[in-house]
Chain A
């Protein structure tokens, strides 16, 4: 049994934003695949929700030139059903493929995965490697924030209680690029990530023109390994520099021990998986 709560069911974005406005402890509810277990497990204390189930205007995948925009209520299944995401954001596609199980993918939304703020949210490392931005809307207007600046701390973000994350967008990766994601967990799918790594490497004339590395489950938030990225940009990559970058990425981790893995194991795998993905990515583009 879930604890009793109130649920409003707006049928438009305007009504949803109105329902969130001016109330301190009202929260949006989309696929509810995290929220329902959190309510049942008494981890969620909010008792007043605004359902986005009827807000169909937030469920879309749009392309405008090189810009791809996902409405926040786009589901993991929608991402996999779309013919273009596999090339427009290969790491995101890979993350969606092993996201929970088939039934959860029908319901779970991209906006929900980003907003739950979990360090193990699998779409977030992938989105960070394509420099994704999120649009936050409220009755008083909207603002666009780089996803890289969205999280403040463990499950904390810059999203205000009257705001709704309404879309996620990014530019498609450059022609000669590789965008990879690897989820280390006890099994593929239906398991919480022990260490998640996403990379994006673009190259021109044998030189790395853009490097993005994002790590999940190894710090209070998903984060970009910026020092490692800086080491790679503008260079022709080889084994030594990749190893150095992977080391820098691991140095930026602040993992914890939990039931899934020790902090030490997470550090080691953050290093080895970053090295592995950078090696694979460089091989693809050079």
Chain B
């Protein structure tokens, strides 16, 4: 039962080979490989801490079987931006103090990226709905919503720097 199989996944542009049985989730397989920037939270698709982009679409990696990622591209928070080359969302989270303990932040930014891709000018209600699959147990939602709207303004070229 549940033989191992080697799946090939491109993570943040690099090819990674994962030897995994059918019952391993993408979250478990990638964290085991050292991608610990993907956070493990509720493991049932409620909290969004484990969110990654799979071929550009946001998924909960705790609900995604590693076998289903074979031949596909995964983007983690480190693929969104790095210190010195941060994404506008990451900058906005720093600027507004939207990260408290920081555990939910990678997933929040992954979900917010998808929201802003689909809707560059989201209302507050749109932001709340876009992030409804992400829980912040510090309950720091107000600043998270501010950060997403700040990043949206930056990306539309309406930021203070523009």
Contact = CB atoms under 8 A, between A and B. Distances in A.
Interface of A: 1-7, 9, 31-33, 36-37, 39-41, 47, 49, 51, 53, 77, 97-98, 100-107, 187-190
Contacts, number: 106
Contact of A5 (B2, B68, B115): B2
B58 A103 contact: yes
B22 A103 contact: no
B60 A104 contact: yes
Given A4-B21, A100-B133, A106-B59, A190 B65 contact: no
Contacts of A98: 129, 132
Interface stretch (B11-19, B45-53, B76-84, B145-153): B45-53
A101 B1 CA distance: 33
B124 to A, nearest CB: 13
Contacts of A47: 1
Q: Summarize A's interface: helix, strand, loop or mixed.
A: loop
A103 B133 contact: yes
A48 B67 CA distance: 15
A101 B48 contact: yes
Interface string B37-51: 000000111101001
Nearest to B125: A188
A36 B68 contact: no
Interface in B92-122: 111, 114-115
Nearest to A49: B22
B91 interface: no
A51 B68 contact: yes
A1 B28 contact: yes
Given A6-B22, A32-B65, A77-B57, A101 B2 contact: no
Contact of A40 (B43, B129, B131, B132): B43
Interface residues of B, number: 35
B8 interface: no
A100 B63 CA distance: 13
A104 B23 contact: no
Contacts of A97: 129
A100 to B, nearest CB: 6
B134 interface: yes
A106 B58 CA distance: 7
Given A6-B22, A40-B44, A102 B132 contact: yes
Contacts of B28: 1
A40 B65 CA distance: 13
Contacts of A53: 68
A71 B68 CA distance: 19
17 contacts: A2-B24, A3-B23, A4-B22, A36-B45, A39-B23, A41-B44, A47-B1, A49-B22, A51-B65, A98-B129, A102-B48, A102-B114, A102-B132, A103-B45, A103-B48, A103-B59, A105-B133
Contacts of B45: 33, 36-37, 100-101, 103-104
Contacts of A189: 129, 132-133
A102 B43 contact: no
B25 interface: yes
Contact of A102 (B44, B63, B111): B111
A6 B1 contact: yes
Given A37-B44, A101-B134, A103-B58, A5 B129 contact: no
Given A7-B67, A51-B68, 18 more contacts: A1-B23, A2-B23, A4-B2, A4-B22, A5-B1, A5-B2, A7-B2, A36-B44, A36-B65, A37-B44, A40-B44, A100-B45, A101-B46, A101-B48, A101-B132, A106-B54, A106-B57, A188-B129
A104 B63 contact: yes
Closest 6 pairs between A and B when the two form their complex, measured CB to CB:
A101-B133, A189-B132, A7-B22, A37-B44, A4-B2, A2-B23
